[in-house]
């Protein structure tokens, strides 16, 4: 088990209210843990919007890529993680996955898609890319 901490920072003055939080329970019968570091799962109420946030820190590949197989196994476990959360939190429509995915610094991910249809209860009214 890793000696690091996982959690969320939030601002109650902005209407962000934590409802519950836990680390993903591990099945003792499994030969290999699905994640090196246990994902942190929290539910929040944000100005009337309910959601579950999931923070993951996936296994690094190692200096010589010796752990690339383990990283891929953890990536492959993400759909199972989401399904486990859906089962544990029936009726939760919004599950937001956050974390350290051990991507290179120049990875663009879904930047263009997000910029096109960006909406979130956390974004202040009037905010724009590059500042307001």
Virtual torsion, Cα 4, 6, 12, 13, nearest 10 deg:
60
Indicate the DSSP class of residue 65.
Answer: S
| Dihedral Cα 70, 37, 55, 116, nearest 10 deg | -20
Q: How confident is the model at residue 123 (pLDDT cuts 50, 70, 90)?
A: low
Residue 124 in any domain: the answer is no
Total number of domains constituting the chain: 1
The answer to the question of residue 5 being in a domain is no
User: 29 in a domain, yes or no?
Assistant: yes
Domain assignment of residue 16, yes or no: yes
CA distances from 125 to 93, 111, 122 (A): 24, 21, 9
In a domain, residue 3? The reply is no
Residue 116 in domain: no
Could you write out the DSSP letters of every residue in 12-32?
A: GGGTEEEEEEEEPPP-TT-SS
Give dist(CA 62, CA 64) in Å, integer. 6
Q: Give the pLDDT score at 125.
A: 65
User: Which residues span the domain enclosing 29?
Assistant: 12-103
Cα Rg of the chain (Å, integer): 17
Q: 57 in a domain, yes or no?
A: yes
What whole-number distance in Å separates Cα of residue 129 and Cα of residue 132? 8
Is 121 domain-assigned?
Answer: no
* Tens digit of each residue's pLDDT (9 = 90 or more) over 18-67: 999 988 887 777 777 888 888 999 999 998 899 999 999 888 877 787 88
pLDDT digits (tens, 9 = 90+) for 73-90: 888 888 888 998 999 899
User: What's the predicted TM-score (pTM) here?
Assistant: 0.70
Helix (H, G, I), strand (E, B) or coil at 71: helix
Percent of the chain surpassing pLDDT 70: 75
């Amino acid at each position: 088990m890793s000696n690091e901490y996982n959690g969320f920072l939030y601002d109650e003055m902005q209407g962000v209210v934590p409802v519950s939080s836990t680390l993903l329970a591990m099945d003792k019968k499994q030969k290999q843990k699905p994640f090196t570091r246990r994902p942190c799962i929290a539910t929040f109420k944000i100005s009337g919007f309910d959601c579950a946030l999931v923070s993951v820190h996936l296994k690094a590949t190692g200096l010589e890529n010796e752990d690339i197989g383990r990283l891929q196994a953890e990536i492959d476990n993400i759909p199972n993680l989401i399904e486990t959360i859906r089962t544990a939190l029936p009726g939760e429509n919004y599950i937001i996955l956050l974390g350290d995915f051990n991507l290179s610094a120049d990875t663009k991910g879904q930047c263009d898609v997000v910029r096109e249809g960006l909406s979130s209860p956390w974004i202040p009214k009037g905010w724009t890319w590059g500042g307001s």
